[in-house]
């Protein structure tokens, strides 16, 4: 039987990695412009962290965590592959006393996460996020900064079709009142709703609002909205946030059904959707979580953050044609490809290659014993900018013809000055054949 990668995981092959690196590099540049510093928590955490932070009755904790192992027999210290990074970042801040050093922290991360989900387009079991956590402020302008940053990350990649959906789910105080109102209004409609929503009615009634099933959406139409139940402070926070977003001319839409699947959120929640992504159209999401730091044993701390799913970014880039555009615009091949004429020249050519690389040039040579013409085809396929054919004559004369693959022009240059000549040759962008 052919061995396969686990379901819901992907190999990122050499021809895919450049685009991933482009996404990562573009993201880092934007994040650093906004003043965020990178943090790298471990791939696994003690399971209790997610149970406490994400919530015992959420889908993630109940169904989607990869949990295993125990350090000592009989001890409840199993670990879980991180299904999200907000809780690990808060844990890392507290464990390393970051707030004692600087009470306001702006942190970002980029890396893999693991959820045991039903696999489909844009939904994997190992996926990647770029995300931020800004901790130490209750200022609604910080919510605005994170939303603008999420947009800037997508803008930076040329993705401009996204939509921002926004809601406030209030604080535990407003939610307590709203929970009772919602339950009373929902109870007579439950029989027409899916089993999941029936379970949610008891466990976490707010999640009923963002069920995607048609019959549930119909049954929940016209229900009272949390907007009408926000307390004074939550209303004021949301008002300031909306005003600032409008002031920034950022397009957003109020979605009173937006709840999100984590217990830690308070007040602001938002999602960025990308219309062509289909069923999994959320490209990113986040919100404020003013109670989480305290819940995990730290001081009372206002905080807000979001994460963007990189696989979904990649789908959006591919489907919009931006990926192909970017790939064809970049120069990928080596600066020079050295062809050899006889087997005897190979060692001397390899020495020359070593010298070019030591001078910082991307240079390559044939390792498959191909003939002269096939070597030229390889150089062309690789997208080499220049080619030099080295035979006994060239080594005797001490010079070689440097051919520009884009224009076909040739120039005789001394072997001793080859690196300088390659550097000096004007760069005419060439793309690998077939690109
Ligand atoms: P989330 O909404 O679960 O939020 O994930 C954020 C994004 O990660 C989603 O919008 C989606 O693009 C991507 N994503 C999630 N699950 C998968 C999957 N199975 N396969 C592929 N992509 C996926 C969080 O994780 C929060 N921790 C965000 C946050 C940060 N809130 C505050 N700070």
Structure confidence by residue, pLDDT tens digits, 80-137: 999 999 999 999 999 999 999 999 999 999 999 999 999 999 999 999 999 999 999 9
Rg for the chain (alpha carbons), in Å?
A: 28
Q: How far apart are CA 101 and CA 46, in angstroms?
A: 25
What average pLDDT does this structure show over 249-269?
A: 93
pLDDT computed for residue 223 by the predictor: 85
**23-32, 75-84, 335-344, range with greatest mean pLDDT:** 23-32
Question: pLDDT tens digits, residue range 148-184?
Answer: 999 999 999 999 899 999 999 999 999 988 888 888 9
Do residues 113 and 128 make contact, with C-beta atoms less than 8 angstroms apart?
Answer: yes
Question: pLDDT tens digits, residue range 85-99?
Answer: 999 999 999 999 999
For the CA of 125, the nearest atom of ligand 1: 19
Which has more pLDDT, 241 or 210? 241
Give CA separation, 365 vs 295, 333, 337, 415, in Å: 59, 12, 6, 16
Beta-carbon contacts of 22 under 8 Å, excluding residues fewer than 6 positions away, are 157, 326
For the CA of 133, the nearest atom of ligand 1: 33
Distance 221 CA to ligand 1 centre (A): 26
Q: What tokens does 44 get?
A: 């696994």
pTM value > 0.85: yes
What domains does the chain contain, in order, with CATH numbers? Answer: 17-171+231-326 (3.30.930.10), 333-424 (3.40.50.800)
Which has more pLDDT, 71 or 295? 295
Residue 126 Cβ contacting ligand 1 at under 6 Å: no
What average pLDDT does this structure show over 238-266?
A: 94
Q: What are residue 168's DSSP bridge partners?
A: 268
Give CA separation, 342 vs 330, 339, 371, in Å: 34, 10, 9
Distance 129 CA to ligand 1 centre (A): 7
Query: Which residue has the least CA distance to atom 15 on ligand 1?
Result: 309
Residue 83 Cβ contacting ligand 1 at under 6 Å: no
């Amino acid at each position: 039987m052919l061995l396969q990668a686990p379901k819901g995981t992907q190999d990122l092959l050499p021809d895919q990695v450049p685009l991933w690196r482009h996404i990562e590099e573009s993201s880092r540049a934007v994040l650093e412009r906004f003043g965020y510093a990178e943090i790298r928590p471990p791939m696994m955490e003690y399971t209790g962290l997610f149970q406490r932070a994400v919530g015992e009755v959420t889908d993630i904790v109940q169904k989607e965590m990869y949990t295993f192992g125990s350090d000592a027999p009989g001890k409840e210290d199993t670990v879980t592959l991180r299904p999200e990074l907000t809780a690990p970042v808060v844990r890392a801040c507290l464990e390393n006393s970051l707030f004692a050093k600087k009470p306001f922290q702006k942190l970002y991360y980029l890396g893999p996460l693991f959820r045991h989900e039903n696999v489909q387009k844009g939904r994997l079991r190992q996926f990647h996020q770029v995300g931020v956590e800004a901790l130490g402020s209750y200022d609604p302008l910080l919510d605005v900064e994170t939303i603008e940053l999420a947009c800037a990350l997508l803008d930076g990649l040329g993705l401009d079709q996204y939509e921002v959906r926004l809601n406030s789910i209030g604080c535990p105080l407003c939610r307590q009142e709203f929970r009772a109102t919602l339950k009373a209004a929902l109870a007579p409609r439950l029989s027409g709703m899916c089993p999941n929503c029936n379970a949610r009615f008891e466990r976490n009634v707010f999640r009923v609002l963002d069920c995607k099933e048609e019959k549930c959406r119909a049954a929940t139409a016209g229900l009272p909205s949390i907007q009408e139940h926000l307390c004074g402070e939550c209303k004021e926070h949301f008002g300031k946030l909306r005003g600032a977003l409008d002031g920034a001319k950022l397009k957003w839409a109020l979605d009173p059904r937006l709840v999100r699947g984590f217990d830690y959120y308070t007040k602001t929640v938002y999602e960025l959707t990308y219309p062509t992504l289909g069923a999994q159209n959320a490209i990113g999401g986040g919100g404020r979580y003013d109670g989480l730091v305290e819940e995990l044993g730290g001081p009372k701390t206002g905080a807000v953050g979001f994460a963007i799913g990189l696989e979904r970014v990649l789908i959006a880039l591919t489907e919009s044609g931006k990926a192909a555009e970017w790939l064809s615009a970049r120069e990928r091949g080596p600066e020079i490809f050295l062809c050899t004429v006889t087997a005897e020249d190979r060692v001397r050519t390899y020495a020359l290659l070593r010298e070019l690389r030591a001078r910082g040039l991307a240079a390559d040579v044939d390792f498959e014993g191909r003939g002269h013409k096939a070597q030229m085809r390889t150089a062309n396929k690789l997208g080499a900018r220049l080619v030099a054919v080295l035979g006994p004559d060239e080594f005797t004369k001490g010079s070689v013809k440097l051919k520009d693959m884009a224009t076909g022009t040739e120039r005789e240059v001394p072997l001793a000055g080859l690196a300088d000549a390659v550097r000096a040759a004007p760069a005419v962008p060439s793309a690998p054949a077939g690109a």
